[in-house]
């Protein structure tokens, strides 16, 4: 073989070797990432069921101190949470030492301070479990049980961005009224034999109070985030206009997503992928009203989008987790996670079935996108720097 032919052959072999090596490394990395996603999923499923118990045997810290220490820029609680049952037990049982009207918002809530100084937000029961709200997706009152279910869905999806929520029964006459502020107390009334209140909020009306069953009211309590983590509100880029007949830009402008991707804080960092995770989360829980979202202040887009008051690419880890949850796994996981909540059963079977159907819709939509644009264009590996979005 002539020298020139040998050089050409060696060059070809070298190119093949380099491409093979790169391909194998890429696949090894992908396989390793997928294996880690599988391990994380199995860890989540193993620790899903929470026993609400008062004991914290291994520490002298209060449950409130432990929960406060959990909060970091990218998660509200860690993956491993052996103290979670004790914290939720405290949320559901600790003595209420003060009650006030809720913070600003559109829906009825009360701000409670529990023994030890911990703030929680109480949302009262408005509907029976099997009641179906007709009309627009954002119609009707907030459902207290949806807050509980959304927290556990956040755990199941592995997001860890929703504040802790648990169901609780309170006696309005003996637990709330004696420690209520004048502002809250002035909104109490009696309807038949039931104690009711209507609070202070944008849509709160004396004609539409929340009523207990006698004096006992079912509701949810959401743990207040530590004051050292102040929140900043942002307009959601895919929010609706709230004007009848007026479309938002994303509803008619095909170039809108490209414009969003060039705008801070979506042009770098994880915020855009957080938005998409949240779109999946909101669709699963039936929330069509996230017109704003919160993050920690002065984070320059680095902290998570916080799932309070519960797109174009999707994280590989989110896609993997959604696929692990199909074929009835999501419904089973939710039932297991919520089995020991004080207001269990939290969701009726028709609501659980609806979540399952929405999951299938999400998977089908992403599959349609990957078929049209390719996996590499749709699925983003979130274990790498995200400045390329």
The pLDDT assigned to 152 comes to 96
**C-alpha closest to that of 334 among 318, 349, 323:** 349
Contact 121, 226 (CB under 8 A): no
Any binding-site annotation on 382? Answer: no
- Determine, yes or no, domain membership for 42: no
Q: Are residues 177 and 107 in the same domain?
A: yes
> Could you give the CA distance from residue 335 to residue 141 in angstroms, rounded to a whole number?
24
Q: Are residues 249 and 346 in the same domain?
A: yes
Q: Are residues 176 and 263 in the same domain?
A: no
Q: Where are the alpha helices (DSSP H) in 111-270?
A: 144-157, 182-185, 256-260
- Determine, yes or no, domain membership for 232: yes
Domain containing residue 375: 228-380
- Determine, yes or no, domain membership for 88: no
The pLDDT assigned to 25 comes to 34
Q: Are residues 107 and 205 in the same domain?
A: yes
- State which of 223, 246, 278 marks the end of a domain: 223
- Determine, yes or no, domain membership for 311: yes
Any binding-site annotation on 115? Answer: no
Q: Are residues 360 and 264 in the same domain?
A: yes
Q: Are residues 124 and 137 in the same domain?
A: yes
Q: Are residues 356 and 269 in the same domain?
A: yes
- State which of 208, 223, 238 marks the end of a domain: 223
Q: Are residues 103 and 234 in the same domain?
A: no
- Determine, yes or no, domain membership for 70: no
For the chain, what is the domain count? 2
Q: Are residues 374 and 248 in the same domain?
A: yes
Q: Please state whether the peptide bond connecting residue 321 to the residue before it is cis, i.e. omega within 30 degrees of 0.
A: no
Active site members: 289
Determine the distance from the C-alpha atom of residue 60 to the mean position of all C-alpha atoms in its chain, rounded to a whole number: 30
More confident residue, 376 or 110: 110
- Determine, yes or no, domain membership for 15: no
The pLDDT assigned to 322 comes to 94
- What mean pLDDT is predicted for residues 87-100? 97
The pLDDT assigned to 2 comes to 55
- State which of 202, 223, 244 marks the end of a domain: 223
| Span 240-287, pLDDT tens digits | 777 888 888 988 998 998 899 899 888 888 888 888 898 899 889 888
Which residues are within 8 A (CB) of 333 and not within 5 positions of it... i.e. 6 or more apart? 45, 48, 156, 325
Q: Are residues 370 and 239 in the same domain?
A: yes
Any binding-site annotation on 274? Answer: no
| Span 14-32, pLDDT tens digits | 443 433 343 333 444 456 7
98: helix, strand or coil: strand
263-268 contact pairs (CB < 8 A, 24+): 264/301, 265/300, 265/301, 266/237, 266/301, 266/389, 267/389, 268/301, 268/386, 268/387, 268/389
Average model confidence (pLDDT) for the chain? 85
The pLDDT assigned to 31 comes to 67
- What mean pLDDT is predicted for residues 37-50? 84
Q: Are residues 165 and 308 in the same domain?
A: no
Cβ density class 188-217: b for 16+ within 10 Å, e for less: beeeeebbbbbbbbeebeeeebbbbeebeb
| Span 207-238, pLDDT tens digits | 999 999 999 999 999 999 999 888 888 888 88
> Could you give the CA distance from residue 33 to residue 8 in angstroms, rounded to a whole number?
37
The pLDDT assigned to 6 comes to 53
Q: Are residues 217 and 338 in the same domain?
A: no
- Determine, yes or no, domain membership for 309: yes
- Determine, yes or no, domain membership for 194: yes
The pLDDT assigned to 307 comes to 67
Any binding-site annotation on 294? Answer: yes
| Span 317-349, pLDDT tens digits | 899 999 999 999 999 999 999 999 999 999 999
Q: Which two tokens stand for residue 283?
A: 């669709």
Any binding-site annotation on 309? Answer: yes
Q: Is the model's pLDDT at 179 over the cut of 70?
A: yes
Any binding-site annotation on 142? Answer: yes
């Amino acid at each position: 073989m002539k020298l020139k032919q040998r050089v050409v052959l060696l060059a070809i072999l070298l190119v093949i070797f380099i491409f093979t090596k790169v391909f194998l490394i890429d696949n090894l990395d992908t396989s390793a990432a997928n294996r880690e996603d599988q391990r994380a999923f199995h860890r989540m499923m193993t620790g899903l069921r929470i026993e609400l118990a008062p004991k914290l045997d291994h520490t002298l810290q209060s449950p409130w101190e432990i929960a406060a220490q959990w909060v970091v820029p990218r998660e509200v609680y860690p993956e491993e949470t052996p103290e979670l049952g004790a914290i939720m037990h405290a949320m559901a049982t600790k003595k209420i030492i003060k009650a006030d009207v809720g913070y600003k918002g559109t829906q009825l809530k009360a701000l409670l301070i529990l023994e030890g100084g911990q703030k929680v937000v109480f949302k009262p029961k408005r509907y029976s479990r099997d009641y179906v709200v007709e009309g627009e997706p954002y119609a009707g009152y907030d459902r207290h049980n949806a807050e509980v279910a959304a927290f556990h869905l956040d755990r199941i999806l592995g997001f860890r961005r929703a504040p802790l929520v648990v169901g609780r029964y309170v006696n309005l006459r003996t637990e709330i009224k004696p420690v209520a502020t004048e502002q809250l107390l002035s909104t109490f009334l009696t309807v038949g034999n039931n104690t009711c209140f209507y609070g202070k909020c944008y849509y709160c009306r004396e004609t539409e109070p929340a009523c207990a069953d006698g004096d006992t009211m079912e509701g949810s309590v959401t743990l207040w985030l530590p004051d050292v983590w102040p929140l900043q509100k942002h307009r959601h880029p895919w929010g609706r206009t709230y004007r009848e007949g007026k479309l938002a830009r994303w509803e008619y402008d095909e170039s809108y997503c490209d414009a969003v991707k060039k705008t801070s804080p979506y042009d770098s960092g994880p915020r855009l992928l957080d938005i998409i995770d949240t779109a999946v989360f909101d669709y699963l829980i039936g929330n069509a009203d996230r017109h704003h979202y919160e993050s920690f202040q002065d984070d320059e887009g680095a902290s998570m989008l916080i799932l309070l008051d519960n797109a174009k690419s999707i994280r590989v880890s989110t896609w993997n987790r959604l696929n692990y949850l199909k074929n009835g796994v999501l419904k089973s996981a939710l039932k297991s996670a919520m089995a020991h909540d004080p207001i269990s059963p939290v969701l009726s079977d028709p609501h659980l079935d609806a979540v399952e159907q929405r999951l299938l819709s999400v998977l089908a939509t992403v599959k349609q996108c990957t078929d049209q644009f390719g996996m590499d264009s749709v699925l983003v590996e979130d274990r790498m720097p995200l400045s390329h979005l």
